[in-house]
Amino acid sequence: TIVNTDMAKLGIIMNRRHFLGSAAAAAIVPCGVLAAPARYQLRAEPVIKQILPPGDGATRMLGFNGSMPGPELRVRRGQPLTVAVENGLEDGTAIHWHGIRLDNRMDGVPMLTQKTIPPKATHTYSFVPPDAGTFWYHSHYLSHEQVALGMMGPLIIEEDTPPDVDRDITVLISDWMMQEDGTLVGDFANRHSVAHGGYMGNYAKAFLSGQDVQIGDRVRFRLINAATNRIFPVTVGGVSGQIVALDGMALATPRPLSDLILAPAQRVDLIVDVTGRVTFDMITRQDPYLLAELVPVGTNANRTQAPVPPLPPHGLPQPAEPAQHLTLTMMGGAMGGRHGGDNIWAFNNVSDLPADPFGTFTQGETARITLVNDTSFAHGIHLHGHHFFEVGPDGALGDLRDTTLVSAGESRDILCVFDNPGKWLLHCHMLSHQVGGMKTWVSVA
Ligand code: C2O
Ligand code: CU
């Protein structure tokens, strides 16, 4: 589903004139990489970051350990991970480990799995990541503000035997609404934008965790869309290679690299050979908008350009015959019909978290959920604690994802093996839509 999507239909083509600065100004900023062992300290705190080109003003944001994005956390699959989160903000917070099939108590969702972490307090999360792949962490409290302000970072779970590559580079993409002096425009809950595509930036950029590549290198790129609302259509230049994973889950058969579509929270892993200057461009109606680039510093003559093998297979169970078939209808927003909820958006006529779950599943059962988008906007629907299979229109089992993009007016079936006990959020990852009411939860017991 990441190829040949009708981008205009998704409403994601932006006009380049809406952007400040020049494309050439999109700089490469390394994320901090912490070393093993798997015990991390993350202090949530205000940071000042040069988002705009040097010479333009710096931006007051939020981040972790003085950095935005937060430091890259990296452990081996199956290696226990402990993260002590210290709240250096004036507000509460909670941290969610997006896409990890973890113990429900560690999921980081206020109201559902924990209390918010008050200012000055520390809350320790511990879990054992069962799957290798590209994940990320972000605030799950007032997330439409806190994520927009920068409270997010990469969470990389390495394979037992990582693939044979020369470099492994994270590409974290986001956008910000900026004034020319670098001031972030903080109108996050503006009802007009909540009712439309959501709070979106006028400036976008990708942060790379490394920049040292040579022509001929084989590189794994891990793209993460950390934006609150923007769907990024991305084209990668200066490489030839394969798509090897989606939302952290290995593809059984890698696919030739083509244009990519990343809904908010989605990830795409590539393994490619460098053939020239590497560019990550957002596709727009006009010129491509450069998000980041890598200028090769030499030539690697030792690498033989063998075909890219698949990553080690994911260990998730195949779905069984579904025991339940539920329908989740997205409703509301501008140009949408009436609905019974009392916020801007709703699922099945209910806005915001209901007292009762949308679905109740016996641990291990497979369920089919038909996602119906009865609105005029695209939505990226995310289920916590599980991955699910997208089902094609022909009924064929598609990709395994934790976030699926459903265009305006479309429907998609998903099949999920609900094997992780607990209370799990199910929401639109356009975070403006989430705060506008598009969220519910399921119970697995
Ligand atoms: Cu990435 Cu409910 O979150
Ligand atoms: Cu949405």
Lowest mean pLDDT among 21-35, 104-118, 182-196, 358-372: 21-35
Answer yes or no: do 287 and 377 share one domain: no
Let me know if 221 is exposed, middle or buried by CB neighbors in 10 A (0-12, 13-18, 19+): buried
Distances 192 to 86, 196, 199, 279 between C-alpha atoms, Å: 34, 6, 9, 34
How many domains are contained in the chain?
Answer: 2
Structural domain ending residue among the three candidates 242, 277, 294: 294
* Whether pLDDT at 9 is above 80: no
Residue nearest to atom 3 of ligand 1 (CA): 98
Structural domain ending residue among the three candidates 272, 294, 316: 294
Q: Does residue 38 form part of some domain?
A: yes
Average pLDDT on 387-394 reads: 96
278 lines ligand 1 (CB under 6 A): no
Nearest ligand to the C-alpha atom of residue 143: 1
379 lines ligand 1 (CB under 6 A): no
Answer yes or no: do 285 and 345 share one domain: no
Q: Does residue 311 form part of some domain?
A: no
Q: Does residue 315 form part of some domain?
A: no
User: What is the rounded distance in angstroms from the CA atom of residue 96 to the CA atom of residue 108?
Assistant: 4
* Whether pLDDT at 102 is above 50: yes
With a pLDDT cut of 90, the percent of the chain lying above it is 89
User: What is the rounded distance in angstroms from the CA atom of residue 424 to the CA atom of residue 104?
Assistant: 7
Q: Does residue 306 form part of some domain?
A: no
> Ligand 2 centroid to 399 CA: how many Å?
20
386 lines ligand 1 (CB under 6 A): no
Give the pLDDT confidence score for residue 338 in this predicted structure: 86
Answer yes or no: do 356 and 256 share one domain: no
Partners of 230 in the beta sheet?
none
Answer yes or no: do 155 and 272 share one domain: yes
**Residue among 277, 225, 235 at smallest CA distance from 257:** 235
Q: Is 294 helix (H, G, I), strand (E, B) or coil?
A: strand
Answer yes or no: do 26 and 106 share one domain: yes
Q: Does residue 319 form part of some domain?
A: no
89 lines ligand 1 (CB under 6 A): no
**Residue among 209, 229, 247, 245 at smallest CA distance from 100:** 247
144 lines ligand 1 (CB under 6 A): no
Answer yes or no: do 279 and 350 share one domain: no
196 lines ligand 1 (CB under 6 A): no
Question: Regarding beta strands 439-444 and 359-361, do their DSSP bridges make them parallel or antiparallel, or are they unpaired?
Answer: parallel
Q: Does residue 199 form part of some domain?
A: yes
User: How many CB atoms are located within 10 Å of the residue 414 CB?
Assistant: 22
Nearest ligand to the C-alpha atom of residue 137: 1
140 lines ligand 1 (CB under 6 A): yes
Q: Does residue 336 form part of some domain?
A: yes
* Whether pLDDT at 26 is above 60: no
Question: Regarding beta strands 365-373 and 345-347, do their DSSP bridges make them parallel or antiparallel, or are they unpaired?
Answer: unpaired
433 lines ligand 1 (CB under 6 A): no
> Ligand 2 centroid to 347 CA: how many Å?
10
Partners of 368 in the beta sheet?
325, 415
Answer yes or no: do 328 and 290 share one domain: no
CATH number, position 358: 2.60.40.420
> Ligand 1 centroid to 287 CA: how many Å?
32
> What pTM, to 2 d.p., does this model score?
0.92
Contact, 369 vs 381, CB < 8 A?
no
CA 81 to chain CA centroid, Å, is 20
Answer yes or no: do 194 and 331 share one domain: no
- Tens digits of residue pLDDT in 297-345: 999 999 988 999 999 999 999 999 999 999 999 999 999 878 999 999 9
Q: What are the residue ranges of helices labelled H in 2-100?
A: 7-10
Average pLDDT on 340-363 reads: 97
Answer yes or no: do 403 and 289 share one domain: no
* Whether pLDDT at 377 is above 50: yes
> Ligand 1 centroid to 165 CA: how many Å?
30
Give the pLDDT confidence score for residue 67 in this predicted structure: 97
Answer yes or no: do 289 and 333 share one domain: no
Answer yes or no: do 344 and 290 share one domain: no
Tokens of 237: 């230049």
Nearest ligand to the C-alpha atom of residue 380: 2
Domain of 338, in residue numbers: 324-444
Average pLDDT on 392-400 reads: 95
> Ligand 2 centroid to 383 CA: how many Å?
13
> Ligand 2 centroid to 197 CA: how many Å?
8
Answer yes or no: do 251 and 374 share one domain: no
Which of the four pLDDT bands, split at 50, 70 and 90, describes residue 37? low
* Whether pLDDT at 365 is above 90: yes
Q: Does residue 302 form part of some domain?
A: no
Residue nearest to atom 1 of ligand 1 (CA): 98
- Tens digits of residue pLDDT in 228-274: 999 999 999 999 999 999 999 999 999 999 999 999 999 999 999 99
